[in-house]
Structure 1
């Protein structure tokens, strides 16, 4: 599949934003994180800013972005439409939570309820995003048991690392969040390795013979369907060389998982401000690594429509 940069940024930014929002909603709403005005303002601003930037960037991949609002009407049958509805609906409890926790400095009561609803909305939106790809049967690499959990794990991982960086930056005790960030990073690394192992061993049952229903021999085209590159080949027939794929996988492991894990371990063993610096670097490097991981997620996927073109 052709990895559109707008969609790559969208899935990375919204995943981190919703992960951060969910953690703030639960921990802030129940008072595990102090209701400090500046910390809350920066935290909620970062979460909602990432979400908003990601949602806006997703329209860049549409042929007619001005018609994006029509997608909301198909929520009964479309995961894309459900994602749009849930993403907008999440802003309501998130806004109420921000008013209570940031502006009024309160936790518990209706603020906790708003925080829980914001966390539930964030989780639901990440699930709908994952299901957009997991529901696509023509792409075997996505239509697997690994896709949806990956979206949830990566969202929790990047959100936790961002929250830890914020807590360290404001010199707030974040031992539990720091440990969760490290464990989530290691879990994400393990899940990514398992996904790659599954994809590399995947045997796609569909071929030109099964597609045409002709048994015996090898089915091939006498003439190619098109004499030059078309939309389907550009979007669905994108291929990445094996050597480039292996190199990018190593970069992904280093930037998204290994280096952040080491930096988080350093932060755990250090005192402020060195712990804050290590935590901030871990968050920045991990987001860069996740951009590479998301690019690979699209580039390595193979659509069965390419069988029509002899690929």
Structure 2
């Protein structure tokens, strides 16, 4: 599949924002983070800004962005519509929780309930984003049980590194934030390895013979291209990345997206002041780059069954 920049930005930015928002809501409601006004304003403001940026970026991939609101009416059958409905529904409790934290200095009582609801809606929204792709039967790299854990794990890892940086800047809750960052990065690395192992070893779901209905006549193969120039389907559905390049990019994700941030967060947990903050800032930058590459690969390595009609032997 052709990796659209708007969709990559959308999934990475919104996932990062929802991960940070859910962690702040849960830890704040449990009293594991003190209701420091500065941390609340910066953290919740950053989370909502990332979410809003991602949601706005998603509309740029549409042919008519001005009609995006119509998708909300299809929530009974469309995961994209459900995602939009839940994303909008998440703003009121998030703002209520933020008001309690920043203005009243409280994250208990009704504000805690708003926090739990915020976290729940954040997780559900990320699940809907994952299901937009996991529900597509013609793309085996997406139609598997590792896609949703992958989206959730990446949201947790990127959000946790953001939280660790903010906790370091404001000097509160550094212990829990750094511990969650380490666990999140480790979990995301394991899930991505499992996902890549799955798509590399899974049996093909269709062949050219099955797609053309010529299976009984022997091994079907393409004699001539159906067209002389690339068409829309080939550009969007037939995008291919060389195996050697994919392997290099996977190593970049593992090292730059997970390994290096882990090596930076661990010493930052035992340091304080500007040194710790700089280490966490570098960890966040490395994680963000790794997340962008990971999401680019997620789309680039996806093969649509329509490519069987344009020369692909199996999908």
Pairwise TM-score range, normalised by the shorter structure: over 0.9
* Contact 1:29 1:97 (C-alpha < 8 Å) held by counterparts: no
Per-residue deviation at 1:139?
A: 0.6
| SS at structure 2 position matched to 1:273 | helix
Cα-to-partner distance string for 1:36-94 (whole Å, 9 max, x where unaligned)? 22221111110000000000011111111111111101100010111111111111111
Unaligned runs of 5+ in 1: none
Unaligned runs of 5+ in 2: none
1:212-227 equivalent positions in 2, closer than 5 A = 212-214=212-214, 215-227=216-228
Segment of structure 1 superposing worse, 102-111 or 44-53? 102-111
* Contact 1:40 1:102 (C-alpha < 8 Å) held by counterparts: yes
| SS at structure 2 position matched to 1:270 | coil
Which residue of structure 2 aligns with residue 29 of structure 1? 29
Which residue of structure 1 aligns with residue 118 of structure 2? 118
The 1-side partners of 2:115 and 2:106 are apart by 11
The 1-side partners of 2:145 and 2:261 are apart by 26
Per-residue deviation at 1:216?
A: 3.5
* Contact 2:97 2:114 (C-alpha < 8 Å) held by counterparts: yes
Change beyond 3 A, Cα 1:106–1:269 = closer
Cα-to-partner distance string for 1:206-253 (whole Å, 9 max, x where unaligned)? 011112332142223454332211111111000011121111111111
The 2-side partners of 1:150 and 1:304 are apart by 23
Which residue of structure 2 aligns with residue 259 of structure 1? 260
RMSD: 1.2
Q: TM-score, normalised by structure 2?
A: 0.96
Cα-to-partner distance string for 1:169-228 (whole Å, 9 max, x where unaligned)? 111142122112101101111111111111111221301111233214222345433221
Per-residue deviation at 1:8?
A: 0.5
Cα-to-partner distance string for 1:117-141 (whole Å, 9 max, x where unaligned)? 0000100000000111111111101
Per-residue deviation at 1:270?
A: 2.2
Which residue of structure 1 aligns with residue 68 of structure 2? 68
Cα-to-partner distance string for 1:151-175 (whole Å, 9 max, x where unaligned)? 1111111111111110001111421
2:189 pairs with 1:189: yes
| SS at structure 2 position matched to 1:206 | coil
* Contact 2:33 2:173 (C-alpha < 8 Å) held by counterparts: no
1:127-206 equivalent positions in 2, closer than 5 A = 127-206=127-206
* Contact 1:239 1:300 (C-alpha < 8 Å) held by counterparts: yes
2:249 pairs with 1:248: yes
Which residue of structure 2 aligns with residue 282 of structure 1? 283
The 2-side partners of 1:15 and 1:271 are apart by 28
* Contact 1:29 1:101 (C-alpha < 8 Å) held by counterparts: no
The 2-side partners of 1:221 and 1:197 are apart by 29
Segment of structure 1 superposing worse, 292-301 or 29-38? 29-38
Segment of structure 1 superposing worse, 22-31 or 46-55? 22-31
* Contact 1:236 1:306 (C-alpha < 8 Å) held by counterparts: yes
The 2-side partners of 1:235 and 1:77 are apart by 24
The 1-side partners of 2:149 and 2:108 are apart by 30
Which residue of structure 2 aligns with residue 293 of structure 1? 294
The 1-side partners of 2:272 and 2:64 are apart by 51
The 2-side partners of 1:77 and 1:7 are apart by 21
- Number of residue equivalences: 311
Segment of structure 1 superposing worse, 301-310 or 197-206? 197-206
| SS at structure 2 position matched to 1:128 | helix
| SS at structure 1 position matched to 2:273 | coil
Q: TM-score, normalised by structure 1?
A: 0.97
Which residue of structure 2 aligns with residue 305 of structure 1? 306
